[in-house]
Amino acid sequence: MQAADLSFHQVFLKTMFMGLKIGVSMKTMSYQERKKVIKLSANIAMAVAGKGMNWSRALITSHAKHGQNKVLLMSLLGRRRYESITKPCFPVKFKEKRMKLKRRFRRTNSILRRGAHASNGATARVIAESLVKQRTRILKRVVPGGETLDELSLLEETIDYVISLKAQVNLMRLLTEALSRSNKGGIP
């Protein structure tokens, strides 16, 4: 069965179990090390199941910055995919587009500020714009890879990221319940 044919849940569980198997078999581990392997496996599994969204690539890239994660990441993704995701590349068109957006927002904000000063107080529109800007900055920090996105793409990525996080939490909860039930039944 191809990865494209598998559901998010199937890809997540398959990748997570592979990550756990590889990560735990590397050496004897302390509780903290095992906890890190579980978290890393869950994050990478979520990113792999995320099917190439910007946040999934950013999540993999952020984990790849830590040298000890490289072996696990390369094992789960394969060398070619690992290198294509972690290789830094920003096309010139993307940089130009981002600069144009920044210039346009600066011009719009200066016009709005001048309008607010002309009326001797902040209008509801200026306050709303300020709140949207503040919340956008927060979202850009929360969503992996969000710093490089325009507002519309950021909303799309945020929705997909939240759905994936929710699925990850549900799967982890089900896995925990299944493991606790099997331990109560006398299975080691």
Q: What is the pLDDT of residues 112-136, one digit of tens each?
A: 566 555 554 567 878 888 889 999 9
Q: Which regions of the chain does DSSP assign to beta strands (E)?
A: none
CB contact set of 92 (below 8 Å; sequence gap of 6+): none
pLDDT in tens, 1-57: 444 456 888 888 888 888 888 877 756 778 888 888 888 888 888 988 887 788 888
pLDDT at 1: 40
pTM confidence score? 0.68
Rounded Cα–Cα distance for residues 36 and 164 (Å): 20
- Asked if residue 154 has pLDDT above 70, the reply is yes
**158 contact partners, CB below 8 Å, separation of at least 6:** 139, 142, 143, 146
> pLDDT band at residue 187, thresholds of 50, 70 and 90?
low
Phi, psi of 50 (to 5 degrees): -70, -5
